[in-house]
Structure 1
Amino acid sequence: MTASAPSPYAKQARELQRQAVLTASPAALLVMLYDRLLADLARAHDHLAAGRRAEAGEQLSHAQEIIGALSTSLRPELWDGAENLQAIYTYVSSTLLRAGSTLDPALVAECTECLEPLRDAWAEAAAAGHGRG
């Protein structure tokens, strides 16, 4: 079977996505990161539930990268809540490592439950115009 040619719209879609990222407010960028993180976790959960370890590992690895980026972006000197958020990121990171080693989709679901309210809070902030610039 031969590989199919990319859609003529794929390049346009990538460019639109790139422009959305380049022009987004900091709060909107956080929402985009959380959206991707939650999508990775949903896929990892489904792969683990279906016994597809390699595919789950790829999703968990990418989720870990995003958690790392979110964690390193925290500025405790500028925000009192940063330490609490750091603790959540540390917990999620270690739980995702356990999920990958034990192949337990329930651990991924637990992480999703921790992160969804954070994503929603950032989405509200972005919609209210907070976090611009």
Structure 2
Amino acid sequence: MSNLRDRYLQDSINTASPAKLLMMLYDRLVLDLMQGEEALRGGDRESANNRIGHAQEIVMELHASLKLDAWDGAPGLANLYSFMLTELIGANVKQDADRVAGCRKLVEPLRDAWREAALAPA
């Protein structure tokens, strides 16, 4: 059963538009941040490390794929990604759930804005 789910997920990723992929990344980032924060608050260091580490990977991917010359806001977004990465590393090292929550509060409006843009009629 797990193999079927993995295959479905991989097929979904392979056939998704760039806008859909971006929405998927942001959705997963928010989920990782929520779960990482909850794990820290619950004292589950291993789970927190896994979720926050995965969130860091997503932020690095978002930063690496950002085209700085595509629009005027791109450099600011790149700076925000760098800030979040620093915060997540610090949160993981210091086991600081509030820093993770702060990153989530930055990401959620971005996720919502990208979703709205992706779903808007062309």
Q: TM-score range by the shorter chain?
A: over 0.9
* CA distance in 1 between partners of 2:85 and 2:54 (Å): 11
Between Structure 1 and Structure 2, how many residues are aligned?
Answer: 122
Pair 1:65-2:57 in alignment: yes
Aligned to 1:79: 71
| Structure with bigger RCO (C-alpha 8 Å, 6+ apart) | 1
The structure 1 segments of at least 4 consecutive aligned residues displaced by more than 4 Å after TM superposition are: none
* CA distance in 2 between partners of 1:58 and 1:12 (Å): 24
What is the one-letter code of the residue matched to 2:109? P
Report the Cα offset of residue 129 of structure 1.
Answer: 5.1
Report the 3-state secondary structure (helix = DSSP H, G, I; strand = E; otherwise coil) of the residue aligned with 2:71: coil
* CA distance in 1 between partners of 2:53 and 2:7 (Å): 25
Provide, for residues 55-92 of structure 1, a one-character-per-residue CA deviation record: whole Å limited to 9, x for no partner: 21111111111100000111112222110101110111
Correspondence list, 1:83-98, <5 A = 83-98=75-90
What 5-or-longer segments of structure 2 have no aligned partner?
Answer: none
Aligned to 1:39: 31
| Alignment RMSD | 1.3
Report the 3-state secondary structure (helix = DSSP H, G, I; strand = E; otherwise coil) of the residue aligned with 1:17: helix
1:48 is aligned, of 25, 40, 47, to 40
Report the 3-state secondary structure (helix = DSSP H, G, I; strand = E; otherwise coil) of the residue aligned with 2:75: helix
What 5-or-longer segments of structure 1 have no aligned partner?
Answer: 1-7
| TM-score for both structures, normalised by structure 2 | 0.92
| TM-score for both structures, normalised by structure 1 | 0.85
What is the one-letter code of the residue matched to 1:21? I
Q: Percent identity?
A: 41
* CA distance in 1 between partners of 2:118 and 2:70 (Å): 19
Identify, as 1 or 2, the structure richer in helix: 2
What is the one-letter code of the residue matched to 2:62? L
What is the one-letter code of the residue matched to 1:74? L
Name which of structure 1's ranges 15-24 and 100-109 shifts more when overlaid on structure 2: 15-24
Provide, for residues 23-43 of structure 1, a one-character-per-residue CA deviation record: whole Å limited to 9, x for no partner: 211111001001111111111
Aligned to 1:3: none
